[in-house]
């Protein structure tokens, strides 16, 4: 395992007096994709919020081999944006707003516009730059959210169930784009998911969470039926899924 990018030491979070995360001790390997896996209510999003510094926590969250407390540049991809379909805010507006504090009503400089276009080109959706962001499909929105996260040249990329609002084909496409970007830039990536197929296909390491760390390590070692039962439920069964997906024509 290469040097850790994020180190959690005895990290606990309480929200409204209720423990959400309890005494987490884990390291996230730098330069690769680590999935954080767990059922609903396991504290996955809270973990990301703690790493972002959004929620108060006990313990230490340290970054890099120097184990510094100061956060590096973080790119964050949320599940969705809170924006109604009638809003005229465009993808161009959104990508400019994440780059600069100069107000959008004073116009957008050519340099910012080129950077936005380049970010969209990298993930193959340059044509949507001028479209209202509220009118994009779920898959397009997720790619715009990935583009905004990459615009800041982050050292660590945090993705909070990015494919939750996307259909199956959109989800696969998004993950392919993510993997391509990850290979290209070598960014440390934390992907929150409860989708086992995404995790097993795209992650190198897995951290299984259910308020506490259940298990962590390379995917082959961690994704065992016993571990998955411990994470999701003692009543869950795991079935081998190795048949071909080629179906005969109807």
Partner 1 sequence: MDLLTHLVAQIFPFSWLEPEFMRRALLGLILIAPACATMGVQVVSMRMAFYSDAISHSAFSGVALGLILGLDPRWTMIAFGVLVGCGVLIFARKSELSSDTVIGVFFAAVVALGVVIVSARRGLARYFEGVLFGDILTIQTVELWAILTLAAAILIFQWLAFNRLLLLAMNPPLAHSRGIRPAPWEMAFGILLALLVMVALKAVGLLLVTALLVVPGAAARNLAKSAAGLFWWASAQALIASVLGLYLSFIWGSATGATVILICVLFFVGSFGYRMIKGAR
Length of the chain (residues) = 250
In a 13 Å sphere around the CA of 7, the CA atoms on its Cβ side amount to 14
- Decide if residue 196 touches partner 1 (CB under 8 A): no
Which residue of 38, 75, 162, 170 would you call a contact of partner 1, by CB under 8 A? 75
Six-digit token string for 163 = 């494919």
Question: Which DSSP helix (H) or strand (E) runs through 192?
Answer: strand 188-193
State the Cα–Cα distance between residues 84 and 92, nearest whole angstrom.
Answer: 17
Q: How far is the CB of 83 from partner 1 (least distance, A)?
A: 6
Q: Is 52 in the site for partner 1 (CB under 8 A)?
A: yes
Q: Which of residues 118-177 bind partner 1 (CB under 8 A)?
A: 132, 145, 148, 152, 158, 160
Binder of partner 1 out of 7, 42, 49, 214 (CB under 8 A): 49
Q: How many residues bind partner 1 (CB under 8 A)?
A: 40
Among 94, 144, 181, 198, binds partner 1 (CB under 8 A): 94
- Phi then psi for 216, rounded to 5 degrees? -155, 155
Residue 199 near residue 211 (C-beta atoms within 8 A)? no
Is residue 104 within the footprint of partner 1 (CB under 8 A)? Answer: yes
State the Cα–Cα distance between residues 61 and 53, nearest whole angstrom. 9
What residues make contact with partner 1 under the rule CB under 8 A? 16, 48-49, 52-54, 74-76, 78, 80-83, 86-90, 92-94, 96-98, 100-108, 132, 145, 148, 152, 158, 160
């Amino acid at each position: 395992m290469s040097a850790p990018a994020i180190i959690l030491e005895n990290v606990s979070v309480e929200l409204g007096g209720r423990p959400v995360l309890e005494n987490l001790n884990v390291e996230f390997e730098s330069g690769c994709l680590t999935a954080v896996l767990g059922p609903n209510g396991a504290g996955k999003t809270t973990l990301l919020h703690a790493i972002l510094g959004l929620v108060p926590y006990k313990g230490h969250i340290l970054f890099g081999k120097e184990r510094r407390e100061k956060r590096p540049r973080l790119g964050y991809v949320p599940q969705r944006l809170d924006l109604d379909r009638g809003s005229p805010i465009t993808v161009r507006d959104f990508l400019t707003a994440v780059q600069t504090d100069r107000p959008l009503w004073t116009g957008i400089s050519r340099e910012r516009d080129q950077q936005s276009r380049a970010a969209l080109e990298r993930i193959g959706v340059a044509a949507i730059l001028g479209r209202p962001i509220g009118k994009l499909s779920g898959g397009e929105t997720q790619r715009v959210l990935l583009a905004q996260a990459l615009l800041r040249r982050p050292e660590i990329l945090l993705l909070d169930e990015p494919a939750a609002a996307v259909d199956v084909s959109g989800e696969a496409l998004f993950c392919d784009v993510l993997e391509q970007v990850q290979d290209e830039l070598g960014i440390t990536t934390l992907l929150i998911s409860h989708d086992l197929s995404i995790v097993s296909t795209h992650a190198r390491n897995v951290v299984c969470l259910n308020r506490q760390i259940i298990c962590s390590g390379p995917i082959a070692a961690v994704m065992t039926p016993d571990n998955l039962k411990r994470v999701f439920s003692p009543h869950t069964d795991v079935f081998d899924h190795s048949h071909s997906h080629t179906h005969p024509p109807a």
